[in-house]
Amino acid sequence: MDSSKEKDHGKRFRVLMFPWLAHGHISPFLELAERLASRNFYIYFCSTPINLSSIQRHQLIDGGRLSETNSLIELVELNLPTLPNLPPHYHTTKSLPHHLMPTLKKALDLSSPSFNNLLSTIQPDLLVYDFIQPWAPTQASQLNIPAIQLLTTGAAFTSFFGHLFKNNPDTKFPFPSIHLYDHEERKVTEKTSFSDDSEDSERVFQCIGKSTDIVLINSVKEVEEKYLEYASSIFGKEFVPVGPLVQTASSSTSYDHEHEVDKFNEWLVNKENSSVVFVSFGTEYYMSKEEIQEIAYGLELSEVNFIWVIRFPGDQRETDIGQVLPKGFMERIGEKGLVVEKWAPQAKILESCKIGGFVSHCGWNSVLESMQYGVPIIAMPMHIDQPINARFVVEIGLGVEVKRDGDGKLDRRQMGEVIRKVVMGKEGTEVQRKSKEISQKMRCKGNDDIDVLVEKLERLCNKGRMQNVQ
């Protein structure tokens, strides 16, 4: 810990933030850290060295982005034990081969004594933890430190998930637009849809149950109010919306990536407004060759301009994009498409007036970014919370879902048809209008939510300090 940074902030409440080791979790935790730091909380941000290195390089420390608040955010290393096949560069979900996910979760569990030492050393006024570490709030409780959970999922999914596992299977979810298709229900029955690990469901409930008084959630009251209320009733705790916790386009790109941003800008400059779709399936879902080829044909059939980001896991880094795309695909699409590997400045691209749609897996962070920038979603959910997020996107008019066949497989013709409808058809006009309306609503949000949050957190911190004095 950096005592020189902390010594001038003794009167501030000190918060230790501990996200799961995934970019999709670290990013909203970091956004909340910035907001709390701007309200004079002193933040300890805990993760593995590989994740903290990424934060330092691309987002936070000494990069100029947080000139006013970075002195109030301190990065704290949590070193995981060495396990077979899990070297330090795999102490993150980024590029992690799928079969090593259980090993990473095991390593995090084995680090609990080290985390307990951090808690004892830092003695924060509050712990903010994630969905998969029920031992963290237990350790905090033993030290009289209040602990609250920050859920990085949306309220529609959280309430549906809670309803599904807490009620009789015959009890219908009260909001019929949120549902699973047959092929998705089969995965839930097999305990493979909401999580890659059946134990994770129980961990989520434990983490919610151990959250002191309230649960924070990366949600927006203006679009998810009924789901927030239902989640609160199911779990018996107030769900407090703190979203949207998304990066702004201006802050989402590091100096190291600026030259790459220029490449996208140069490609977009000659395209007509709202004529391009951005295609990305997140940082942690790796498509099979069959899926990649079906998507390629779907994009080709749509005849719409596109930017497509393809990612491979760490053990397939040498894979050449040309090996997985259909033969002759790049030649046929010509200037209509830009296919890139690994990375694209998603927020900057979505902000562009050239973008008319987002072909998305409907990860919650991506849904929030679409709301923020007013970009319609062509929904192609893959797993975990994404199917429910896709139904929610359709319910609020933010997008249209690409239907799969009875076995859950993608269909190129359906994909091409939906993309054309959203970008070029009459149906797309209404979706575009609704997307802009939601974006305006998001941008007009004041500081009421953060004011309410700060008041609640200060109350918890004061309560913890009083207990420790006694």
- Contact (CB, 8 A) for 400 and 431: yes
**Cα–Cα distance between 76 and 269 in angstroms, integer?**
42
Is 130 labeled as catalytic in the residue annotation? yes
**Cα–Cα distance between 201 and 211 in angstroms, integer?**
16
**Cα–Cα distance between 370 and 272 in angstroms, integer?**
20
Instruction: Say which of 25, 91, 163, 361 is annotated catalytic.
Output: 25
* Packing angle, helices 386-395 and 364-373, rounded to 10: 20
Give bridge partners of residue 341 from the DSSP assignment: 310
**Cα–Cα distance between 57 and 428 in angstroms, integer?**
39
What residue type is assigned to position 448 of the chain? D
Q: Mapping DSSP to helix (H, G, I), strand (E, B) and coil, where does residue 34 land?
A: helix
**Measuring CA to CA, how many Å separate 70 from each of 53, 74, 75, 242, 256?**
15, 8, 10, 20, 19
DSSP assignment string, 348-363: HHHHSTTEEEEEE---
**Cα–Cα distance between 73 and 45 in angstroms, integer?**
7
**Cα–Cα distance between 306 and 355 in angstroms, integer?**
9
Instruction: Say which of 125, 130, 385, 449 is annotated catalytic.
Output: 130
Is 183 labeled as catalytic in the residue annotation? no
Residues 328-358 as b/e (b if ≥16 CB within 10 A, e otherwise) read: ebeeebeebbbbbeeebbbbbbbbbebbbbb
CA 354-359-363 angle, to 5 degrees, is 120
DSSP assignment string, 117-168: HHHHHH--SEEEE-TT-THHHHHHHHTT--EEEEE-S-HHHHHHHHHHHHS-
Give bridge partners of residue 278 from the DSSP assignment: 307, 358
Q: Residues with catalytic annotation?
A: 25, 130
